[in-house]
Amino acid sequence: MSEPIALKLTAKDFKSDQEVRWCPGCGDYAILAAVQGFMPELNIPRERIVFISGIGCSSRFPYYMNTYGMHSIHGRAPAIATGLSATRPDLSVWVVTGDGDALSIGGNHLIHALRRNVNLKILLFNNRIYGLTKGQYSPTSEVGKITKSTPVGSADAPFNPLSLALGAEATFVARTIDSDRKHLQSVLRAAAEHEGSAFVEIYQNCNIFNDGAFDQLKEHETRDDYLIRLEHGQPITFGKDGQFCVVHPPGGFGLEVRETATTRPEEIVVHDANVTDPAYAFALSRLPGLDLRNTPIGVFRAVQRPSYDNVVRTQLDAARAEVTETPEQQLAGLLSSGDTWTIL
Amino acid sequence: MSKQIRQLDRVVIRFAGDSGDGMQLTGDRFTSETAQLGNDISTLPNFPAEIRAPAGTLPGVSSFQVHFADYDILTPGDAPNVLVAMNPAALKANLVDLPRGADIIVNTDEFTKRNLAKVGYQVSPLEDDTLAGYAVHPVALTSMTIGALADQDVSKKDAERAKNMFALGLLSWMYSRPYESTLRFLERKFARRPELVAANVAAFRAGWNFGETTEDFAVRYEVKPAQMPPGTYRNITGNAALSLGLVAAGVRSGLPVFLGAYPITPASDILHELSKHKKFGVLTMQAEDEIAAVGAALGASYGGALGITTTSGPGVALKSETISLAVALELPLVIVDVQRAGPSTGMPTKTEQADLNLALYGRHGEAPVAVIAPKSPADCFYAALEAARIALTYRTPVILLSDNYVANGSEPWLLPDVDSLPDLRVEFASAPNGEDGTTFLPYLRDPETLARPWAIPGTPGLEHRIGGLEKADKTGDISYDPANHDFMVRTRAARIETIPVPDVEVEDPDGDARVLVLGWGSTYGPIGAACRGLRQRGLSVAQAHLRHLAPMPANLGAVLRSYDRVVIPEMNLGQLAHVIRARYLVDAIGYNQVRGLPFTAAELETMLEEVLKNV
C-alpha cells in the first residue's frame, strides 16, 4: 500500500474570503480557529469536504470555511447532509448545529441521523441559549432560566444532549469545550476517524445572552475540580490533586463520584469508550450536577456499527454487479416487463 | 348446451366486496386479461383508507371498475353494466351507480341475516323488489368454491379466500377473456406455496366451468380488439408509470436517482416501485418525516444526483420550507404530489385536484417553481421525464401534480422506444467562470436558461458556499443590498416564467366551436369523453388541456380569447379558473365538484350542453 500523498494544507487554506460576523468575544471564533487548524490533519482535499449547517449563530460556520458548504434551514442540516452523504461516499460531510437547531426544531432529524449511523460528523455548539433571535431560553437551558420569553423563569426541564444521543443509538459521542483548543482538536480527530455518525457536543460561550455559562469549567481555580477528562484505558480520576474518582457502586444503576483517598484503586472505573452497552456512556453523561461539577469531557463512546451509507452502497453495488446490459437496454427491458401484448 | 354469443362494443364491470375479499386483485387480473385481448381499457379502483374495516360493513367496501371497448376510450365509464357484489354491503354501496337493466352477480352465501342486518337490510334485497329491473344472477360463490376445492390440500379458510378467483373465472368466461396470464400470475404469486397455486387455479376453473354449464348465464359476450396504433403495450397505473418515468430520467440524464420519501397514501406505491430498481443506481430512503424526505433529496441534488421526493398534499405542506430553500439554492428537485381529498387527512384514498394553489403559491416569500400535471395514467411516465428535464435544465424545483385517480387508474400504454426519450444529460461546472479565470461565481447565469452553474462538491477549485440567505448576483455572497434583492426576486420569477413550454393544443374537429373547455391533470378523460359525446350529437365544442401550469404556454391567452365562452371543470372550487381570470382577464366559468371521485362524462356533457345553449 502506498503512502497517502500529504496535501500540505494549512489552517489558512481553510479560511474563506468572507468576513466573520459573530459578536466579538463569541466562543464560535475559538471553535472556528480550532476546526480550521485541525482540517489539514485530515489530509483530504478541500473540495471533498462539505460543511452543512442549519440556522442560528453557529450555523454561519460554513461561510467561513473554504470548502464546499451549505447554510440551510432551521434544524434540517442532518436531513440534507444524509442525502448528500448517502449519494456521495467520497465526501467528508460535517454538520454544524446548535442547541436550538439540533435539539428543538431539528430534534427529529438528529436522532434519526444517529440511529441510522449516517457517516456525518455532527458538531453541536451548545451555549444553552438562543443567540440569533436575541436571548430566549433553549432546550438545554436550566429550569427556571429567566429570559425574554420566560420573565419569571422557564418551566421546562432541559435535554442532556449526550444522554439524548446515546438513547438515539449513537455510535460515537463526545464532549469538548470551546476554550480548550487542544482538547477540542483531539475530539475532532477521534470523530473524523469514526465511521458513521460522530456526535460532538461543544460547550460554547455566548458572551452576549448567556455569558459565563461554563465558567466553572474554564476558570483556573475551579476547572480541574469540576472537569473529568476521559481517557480511554485510564482510571477515571480528576481534581487538582486527583482527589476524586468515578466508581460503579454495587447495587446501583449508574456511576458515582467518590474521594480517591477512601476508594480502593480496583474500584475506580477504567474508562472504556468501546463498551458495547450504551448504559456505561449514559451513566457518564448523567454525572454532572446543576453546578457543572463532575462534567466529563472527551470521547464517551466509540463503537463500531456499519454506517447507513455503507449499507445502502453495498445494496446498490450488489444489485449492479449482476448488470451486463447498457442502462438503455436495461430500461427497455424494464419498460416491457410484466404482461405485454403486441399490435401489428 | 351451446351458448349464444353476443357482440358488444363496450362493457363496464365493477367488482365490489369487502376490503379483504381481494377485489383489487380480481379487477387487476381481469384488466390484464382484457388488455391481452387488445381492447382499450380504463380502470378505477375505489377503496377505503382502512386496511380491514369491520367485515361486511359499508365503510369496508372496496371496488374496482374496468371499462373496456373495441374503440379508444377515455374514462373508466360512468355507470357499470355489470356489478359483482360479494356481500350485501357491496350491493348496497354500489347499487346507486347502477342503471336499470344492468347485470348483478351476487354471492348469495354472504346474504345471511347477520350480514344483511349490518347494512340495514330488514329483508334480503334478493327477496323483495329492491332489485326489480336488474338482471340478478344469484351465485353461491363461497360454497361452490369450497366445494370445488374439497379434494385440495388447503384449509377451509384458504379455500374460502379463493372465491375471488371463482368470480374471476366466471366473468372471464362471460366475456370470453384469455386467461393464460392469470394462471401464470397465480404461479408467480404463490410460488412458495404450490398448494395455493393449485387451489386458486381450481377455483378459477370452477368459476369458468360454472358459467359454461349453468343455465342462469345463457349468453356469452365478446368485445373485439380496438384499433390501436401498432406496437407493444402493457397495462399501467399512473403510479407505476410515474416511477418508470423517474427511472428513465436517471438513465437519460446519466445521474444517480435519489428518492427521499415518507409513506403516505396514495403516493407510497412510487416509493415501493423505485426501491426495486437499485440496479439502475436508484437509491431510495424512507425518511423519518416529510421534511427529512425532501431535505435528503435536496442534499442529494446538491451532490449531483437527481433528487426526488414523493408525497401527497399534507406532505407538500410540510416540505414547503425546504422547497423555498431549493428555490433560493437554485438546485434541481422534483416534488411529486399525488393529490388526495383534503384538507388535513381528508379522504386519503379519494381523488381531488385541490393542491393547485398549494403548488403554485404554497411557499413563503416570492418562491416560484415549475408545475406540471399528467393527464392520464400512462402520461405519468412522460410527465415524470418532463419534470426531470425542467428541474435539471433550469435548476429549479418542479412540482408534479398527479392525483389519486390517475395514480391508481390504469390504461394500455404503447411502450416507447428508449432512444426516442428526451436526452437529459447535464454538464456540471468544472472550471472557474470568473473573468479573471480563477474565481468561481456560483450565481453567474447561463444567459439562455438563466440557470446557475451546478458545481458539485468534489470539484477542485470551485469550493463555494450557498445558503438560504439572500445572495449577491453572480458572486453568491450574502447580500442585504435592496437593489440586489429586488433584482434577485425578479430574476427568480423570470427564471420560471421564461422556461419554454409547448403551446397548448386545441382539439376542435368541427372548427367552428364557440365554447372552449379547458382542463388540467386527470380531468382530461372525462372532459374528452364529454366533448366526443356532444360532437356525436352534432354539437361543436373545443377542448384544450394544460400540462404546464407554471409557466403557462405562451399561446394560452390568445387561445382563451378566441372563444366566446371558456369553461373550466375542476375537482376543486375553481383554482385554475381563478388563475385564468386573474392572468388573462377571461371570464371563465368554473364547473366544480369535490366528491372524491372523478367527473363522469355524462355530467360534464349535460353541463356543457347547457353552456352551448346559452352562448
DSSP line for A211-231: TTTTGGGTSHHHHHHHEEE--
Taking a C-beta distance cutoff of 8 angstroms, is the pair B415, B232 a contact?
yes
Q: What is the pLDDT of residues B306-338, one digit of tens each?
A: 999 999 999 999 999 999 999 999 999 999 999
The helices-and-strands tally (H runs, E runs) of chain B is: 20, 23
CA angle at B374 for the pair B368 and B378, rounded to the nearest 5°: 150
Q: Please check whether residue B234 is in contact with residue A340, taking contact to mean a CB–CB distance below 8 angstroms.
A: yes
Cell numbers 456511576 correspond to A255
What is the per-residue pLDDT for A4? Answer: 60
- Share of residues in chain A with pLDDT > 70 (%): 99
Together in a domain, B367 and B516: no
Reported as a single tens digit per residue, the pLDDT across B257-291 is 999 999 999 999 999 999 999 999 999 999 999 99
- The domain that holds B183 is classified in CATH as 3.40.920.10
Could you check whether the bond before residue B266 is cis, i.e. omega within 30 degrees of 0?
A: yes
Interchain contact, B465 vs A50, CB within 8 Å: no
Does residue B317 fall inside a structural domain? yes
The amino acid that residue B600 corresponds to is: T
Give a yes or no: residue B228 inside a domain. no
Q: Are residues B456 and B414 in the same domain?
A: no
What domains lie within chain A, and their CATH numbers?
Answer: 11-213 (3.40.50.970)
Contact call for residues B456 and B304 (beta carbons, < 8 A): yes
In angstroms, the CA B595 to CA B583 distance is: 28
Sort out which chain B residues have CB atoms less than 8 A from A342's CB and list them.
230-233
B27: in domain: yes
Q: How close is the nearest chain A Cα to the Cα of B387, in Å?
A: 18
Question: What is residue B48's predicted lDDT score, i.e. its pLDDT?
Answer: 82
Write down the pLDDT at residue B50: 80
H/E stretch holding B148:
helix B141-148
- Mean pLDDT for A299-315 is 98
Q: Does B497 touch chain A (CB under 8 A)?
A: no
Asked whether the predicted pLDDT for residue A3 surpasses 80, the reply is: no
pLDDT score recorded for residue A1:
42
Domain end (from B443, B468, B500):
B500
Contact in structure between B410 and B66 (CB atoms under 8 Å):
no
Q: Which amino acid is at B89?
A: A
* Domains identified in chain B, total number: 4
Would you call B539 helix, strand, or coil by DSSP? coil
- Write the residue in B232, B292, B303 that is nearest to A87 by C-beta: B303
DSSP string, A287-324: ---TT-TTEEEEEEEE-----HHHHHHHHHHHHHHT--
Closest residue by Cα to residue A18 from A57, A65, A78 = A65
Instruction: Tell me: do B455 and B549 sit in the same domain.
Output: no
- Region for residue A295 given its phi and psi (left: phi exceeds 0; alpha: psi -120 to 50; beta: otherwise): beta
**Contact yes or no for B278 and A315 at CB 8 A:** yes
Tell me if A135 sits within 8 A of A84, measured CB to CB. no
* Residue B209 domain-assigned (yes or no): yes
Is the separation of the CB atoms in A67 and A9 below 8 Å? no
Residue type, B544: A
Give buried/exposed letters for A112-135 (b at 16+ CB in 10 A, else e): bbbbbbbbbbbbbbbbbbbbbeeb
Residues B154, B61 share a domain: yes
The amino acid sitting at A341 is: W
Identify the residue whose cell numbers are 373508466: B76
Residue in B38, B254, B418 nearest the CB of A341: B38
Tell me the CB-side half-sphere exposure of residue B54, using CA atoms within 13 A: 5
> Cβ(A161)–Cβ(A135) under 8 Å?
no
Burial class (CB in 10 A: 0-12, 13-18, 19+), B354: buried
Average pLDDT in chain A? 96
Q: Is residue B247 part of a domain?
A: yes
Longest CA–CA separation in chain A, Å: 95
State whether B37 and B182 are in the same domain.
yes
In this prediction, residue B49 carries a pLDDT of: 80
- The model scores a pTM over 0.90: yes
3-state class (DSSP) for residue B482: helix
B412, B381 contact by CB (below 8 A)? no
| Residue-range definition of the domain harbouring residue B450 | 427-500
Is-cis flag, bond preceding B343, omega within 30? yes
Q: Residue by residue, what is the 3-state secondary structure of A155-211?
A: CCCCCCHHHHHHHCCCCEEEEEECCCHHHHHHHHHHHHHCCCCEEEEEECCCCCCCC
Is B207 within the bounds of a domain?
yes
Q: Is B101 in the same domain as B154?
A: yes
Evaluate whether residue B561 is within a structural domain.
yes
Q: Are B402 and B336 in contact (CB under 8 A)?
A: yes
One-letter amino acid at B7 equals: Q
* Domain final residue pick, B201, B223, B245: B223
Question: In CATH, what number is assigned to the domain containing residue B257?
Answer: 3.40.50.970
pLDDT for the residue B375: 98
In this prediction, residue A250 carries a pLDDT of: 87
Tell me if chain A has a CB within 8 Å of the CB of B325.
yes
Note whether B586 and B519 are same-domain residues.
yes
Min CA distance, B569 vs chain A (Å)?
A: 33
Residue B187 contacts A, CB cutoff 8 Å: no
One domain, residues B411 and B434: no
Do the Cβ atoms of B496 and A37 come closer than 8 Å? no
3-class secondary structure, B18: strand
In a domain, B229, yes or no: no
Q: Which residues in chain B come in under a pLDDT of 70?
A: 1-2
Are residues B125 and B191 part of one domain?
Answer: yes
For residues B43 and B140, state if they share a domain: yes
Q: Do residue B83 and residue B178 come from a single domain?
A: yes
Which amino acid, A252? G
Rounded CA separation A26/B52 (Å): 59
pLDDT digits (tens, 9 = 90+) for B42-84: 999 988 888 778 889 999 999 999 999 999 999 999 999 999 9
Q: Which residues of B touch A73 (CB under 8 A)?
A: 321-322, 325, 468
- Looking up cell 422556461, which residue turns up? B499
- Rounded Cα gap, residues B48 and A234, in angstroms: 62
Write out chain B residues lying below 8 Å of A86, CB-based. 258, 283, 285, 296, 300
- Quick one: B181 and B274 in the same domain? no
Q: How far apart are CA A85 and CA A77, in angstroms?
A: 12
pLDDT level of residue A252 (50, 70, 90 thresholds) = confident
Per-residue pLDDT tens digits for B372-407: 999 999 999 999 999 999 999 999 999 999 999 999
> Which CATH number fits the domain that encloses residue B599?
3.40.50.920
Q: Quick one: how far is CA B590 from the chain centroid?
A: 23
Percent of chain A with pLDDT over 90: 95
